[in-house]
Structure 1
Amino acid sequence: MTSLPGSINPETLEAAVATGVITAAQRDQLHALDRNGRLAVGGDDESGEENLRLIGGGNDLFVTVGTILLTAGFYFVLITLLPGQPMWIAALVALFSWAVAEIVTRQHRMKLSSTVLSLFFVAAFVVALGLEVLERYPIRTPESMWQLLALRQQVSGAGYLFLGGVMAAVALYFWRFKVPILAGVFAIAATLLAFLQTALLLYDGVAAGSIAPPRLEDMPELLRAALYMPLICGLVVFATGVALDIFDRERRKVWSDCAFWLHVVSAPMLVHPLFIMATGQDVVMGRIEPDANATIMLAVLITGFVYVALAIDRRSLLVPTLAYFGSLGIYYLVNSAANTTGIPPFALILLVIGALVICFGAGWQHIRRLIIGTTLPTSVLDRLPPIKKA
């Protein structure tokens, strides 16, 4: 077993067993903790920081390049040997990625290489399963509304098989290799499955007569009501991420890295519906009225997301929020100033977002200690990621 950067050397552990410092069972427990993603003694973990253990060093980056070249070479070989059989090619690429991961991930725990291999596996499996589902449930473009309504059974069967299969494969791969990014992939697949189930329930309600079919003039309100679905899914994914953060509040296990990706996935699903609902944005045309109420609600949303991100110590929740508000919301807030000063709105947006990113990046822990440490009770702080001392 090779030693991980910052971990106890295996030879040292064997010498400790030989001299009676620790028992063989304790040595095996240390190895198990290392494989499960916990940083070993002497690691580079820094309490209070949102460390994303994505790159394991220069050797990891070197192996990642080799992994990409190896997989690409294998893919082109398959194209030559199996022309016109994309499903088999994708399936073999998925199996090949799994086999390489047995060495790169399972034995050596190379972080970036493991992430790339997991994405190769998911992409290849999705293609293979998608082609199999399309062959089993041929779905043609409907030419009329009646043909669209008649596709219910095909769409439901294909959707359940495809999304369920992806979730099962991702869960199996994660169980074997503990790659954190797969938590985000699983969350996306589960969200799509929730959307599919909601659409089918609405279809069944309309078909049974318990739900009135929408009229054309009801479409804007219907689209606005549809925002509750991504909002609910975003809250579920966010709550799962927070639960993992609480479970691993010292951020020494793989679960905190999984939480990072869950927050990345949940942020857009939370920000977009809340922004539209709070500001009165036109769902169809993508416009808002830059009045006083929209300005106030936008400021409240930004403040709320900043506070939550500080509380759970997750910049991964704040960055998509600032990016979204910067591209859609802050433009309307600074547009009036641009009209009076002649400064391009894009320049003002860059100034505002850049200042916020630098401010929170450079003084994150100080701001967190100042705001969160003084506004939340000790009983809550004891369950959140610890606040780094000055």
Structure 2
Amino acid sequence: MSLATLEAATASGVISADQRDRLLAMEAGPASGETEQSDEENLRLIGGGNDLFVTVGTVLLTAGFYFVLNTILAGRPLLIAAALGLFAWIVAEVVTRQHRMKLSSTVLALLFAASGTVLLVLAVQAGLGIRMPDSLWALIAMRGPVSQAGYLVLGGVILAAALYFWRFRVPILAGVVAIAATLLAFLQTALMLYDGVTSGTVAPPSLQDGPELVRAALYMPLVCGLLIFATAVALDLHDRERRTIWSDCAFWLHVVSAPMLVHPLFIMATGQDIAFGRIEPGTDATVMLTLLIIGFVYVALAIDRRSLLVPTLAYFGTLGIYYLVHSAANTTGIPPFALILLVVGSLVILFGAGWQRIRRLIIGSTLPTSVLSKLPPFRIPPFRT
């Protein structure tokens, strides 16, 4: 049975999307150490030209509907947000539920998440009577309403995204849930610190303690990033062949977790001055920066995820490599920015052109077979003349 037939059967409701994915997995046969598949990271983000065409129509329809609402319901943003959320759900019943158009489904899911967030913010703000404080004492007195508002808004976003995902199975919502959960963890940490300061169990920080306080606060995104990354890896290991929707969810979780891991680790390893945005490029910082780059590259190769490596190279390329090549720029007269572009561009092309061969060479020769059997298989691209 062809893939087109399976997609048509899914769109008409003869089989479910999960059954389609399981049939494709059965057709592929048992996973082996090597598979003659494409070298591409299988991300089902766009379904073809018709999907792109429908996405343009979805954007135009949404814009027109918004302007109509803005005219009819002028000055009533809560009703506008509710109407946009309902609009996204209704259109998704056709575009996503029936025709499984991937890119337009992603746009509709983001529209629903944004509308739901605005709706929750406006409803909670009106319900709790929260207003902008006009003094420090007024801000301190808002601890109770602010905490309730944060829990209601972020918890509501998570529940709404989970409900939409249960209905339509759009992978990008995994990233939305991860971001909302991270903000919820930040809120809880800030409230605990606030309660400690007001009760006297925690000494209030002085102005001189500002950089160290911000540095200590980096542990929160680092912990959240590790949890999100671990969840993404678990989904990758669950779907080694990357044929189901869970591998797409893992992709978005990697996209969310990568900056949360890279930024705190870079600052902790190199001793960057947060307050003034600079680092001291000593020997220890250079060694630690090099080890970090190697570590992230190795992990990305092991789990076969370019999505983890792209923000890593972007971050290290714009911040870290600048200091590594700065001395060369001083002697040659070449602008440091040009050297940064050369280094990062070379790495991107190198890994993009030979990703699977580099992965097999490094990972295949350094990890035991028992570990390799649990990782995504090596995908050797077919020879092209």
TM-score, normalised by the number of residues in structure 2: 0.91
Code of the residue aligned with 2:20 in structure 1: it is: D
The one of 126, 145, 149 aligned to 1:158: 149
| 2:80 corresponds to which of 82, 89, 101 | 89
Relative to structure 1, the CA distance from residue 30 to residue 110 in structure 2 (aligned partners, 3 Å threshold; closer, same or farther) is: closer
Separation in structure 1 between the aligned mates of residue 41 and residue 294 of structure 2, nearest angstrom: 20
- Aligned mate of 1:8, from 6, 12, 21: 6
Per the TM alignment, residue 37 of structure 1 is displaced from its structure 2 partner at its CA by 11
Counterpart of 1:98 (choices 75, 89, 92) is: 89
Provide, for residues 279-334 of structure 1, a one-character-per-residue CA deviation record: whole Å limited to 9, x for no partner: 00001111101111111111000000000000000000000000001111111111
Q: Pick one of 140, 152, 160 that aligns with 2:131.
A: 140
Residue correspondence of structure 1 range 313-324 to structure 2 within 5 A: 313-324=304-315
1:259 corresponds to which of 246, 250, 266: 250
Do residues 305 (structure 1) and 296 (structure 2) align? Answer: yes
Alpha-carbon distance in 2 for matches of 1:87, 1:111: 29
* 1:29 CA displacement: 5.5
CA deviations on 1:141-173 (whole Å, 9 max, x unpaired) are 334332222111011011011101111100000
One-letter code aligned to 1:296: V
Matched, 1:122 2:113: yes
Q: Take 1:244 and 1:224, find their aligned partners in 2: how far apart are those partners? A: 31
Do the aligned partners of residues 304 and 186 (structure 1) sit closer, same or farther apart at CA in structure 2, a change above 3 Å counting? same
**TM-score, normalization: structure 1?**
0.90
- Report deviation, 1:212: 1.7
The separation in 1 between residues aligned to 2:304 and 2:159, in whole angstroms, is: 31
**Does residue 1:231 correspond to 2:219, yes or no?**
no
Partner of 1:294: 285
The residue that corresponds to 1:243 in the other structure is: 234
Q: Distance in 2 between matches of 1:31 and 1:163?
A: 29
Deviation at 1:36, TM superposition (A): 8.8
Deviates more, 1:230-239 or 1:81-90: 81-90
Task: Determine if contact 2:325/2:339 at 8 Å carries over to the other structure.
Answer: yes
1:121-157 CA deviation, whole Å, 9 max, x = no partner?
1111111111112212333333433222211101101
Go from structure 1 to structure 2 and tell me whether the alpha carbon gap of 1:170 and 1:70 turns closer, same or farther (over 3 Å shift): same
Q: Following the alignment from structure 1 to structure 2, what is the Cα–Cα distance between the partners of residues 112 and 268?
A: 24
Q: Which moved more, 1:82-91 or 1:362-371?
A: 82-91
The DSSP-based 3-state class of the residue aligned with 2:132 is coil
> Is 1:195 the equivalent of 2:181?
no
Structure 2 CA distance for partners of 1:31 and 1:302, relative to 1, 3 Å: closer
Q: Which amino acid aligns with 2:266?
A: F
**Native 8 Å contact 2:233 2:250 kept in 1:** yes
Q: Tell me if structure 1 keeps the 8 A contact 2:18–2:244.
A: no
Moved over 6 A (4+): 35-40
Partners of 2:254 and 2:21 in 1: how far apart?
24
Q: 2:340 aligns with which of 349, 358, 361?
A: 349
Greater shift, 233-242 or 28-37, is seen at 28-37
**SS of alignment partner, residue 327 of structure 1:** helix
Q: Deviations over 1:319-365 (max 9, x none)?
A: 00000011111111111111110001111000000000000000000
Structure 2 residue corresponding to 1:33, chosen from 12, 19, 22: 19
Q: How far apart, in 2, do the equivalents of 1:127 and 1:9 lie? A: 35
Q: Is the 8 A contact 1:36 1:178 kept in 2?
A: no
Alpha-carbon distance between aligned partners in 2 of 1:67 and 1:286, rounded to the nearest angstrom: 42
* The one of 256, 259, 262 aligned to 1:268: 259
265, 272, 281: which one aligns with 2:272: 281
Which shifted more, 55-64 or 70-79? 70-79
Q: Quick one: distance in 2 between partners of 1:337 and 1:54?
A: 41
CA apart distance, 1:252: 0.5
1:32 Cα deviation after fit = 4.6
What CA deviation, in whole Å up to 9, does each residue of 1:247-266 have, x standing for no partner? 11110000000000000000
> What is the CA distance between 1:6 and its match in structure 2?
4.0
For the Cα contact (< 8 Å) 2:356–2:378, is it kept in 1? yes
Q: Please tell me whether the aligned partners of residues 133 and 161 of structure 1 are also in contact (alpha carbons under 8 angstroms).
A: yes
User: C-alpha offsets along residues 18-48 of structure 1, whole Å, 9 cap, x if unaligned?
Assistant: xxxxxxxxx9666652389967969xx9466
Offset of residue 120 of structure 1: 1.0
| Rounded Cα–Cα distance in structure 1 between residues aligned with 2:80 and 2:347 | 47
- Note if contact 1:163-1:192 (Cα within 8 Å) is conserved in structure 2: yes
Letter of the structure 2 residue corresponding to residue 155 of structure 1: V
Tell me if structure 2 keeps the 8 A contact 1:263–1:317.
yes
Q: Please, which runs of 5 or more residues in structure 1 have no aligned partner?
A: 15-26
Bigger Cα displacement from structure 2, 150-159 vs 125-134: 125-134
Name the SS of the counterpart of 1:363 in structure 2. Answer: helix
How many residues get paired?
Answer: 373
Does the CA contact (< 8 Å) of 1:37 and 1:253 recur in 2?
Answer: no
Deviations along 1:172-218, one digit per CA (max 9) or x if unpaired, are 00010000011001100000000000111111122222222222222
Tell me what 2:158 maps to: 167
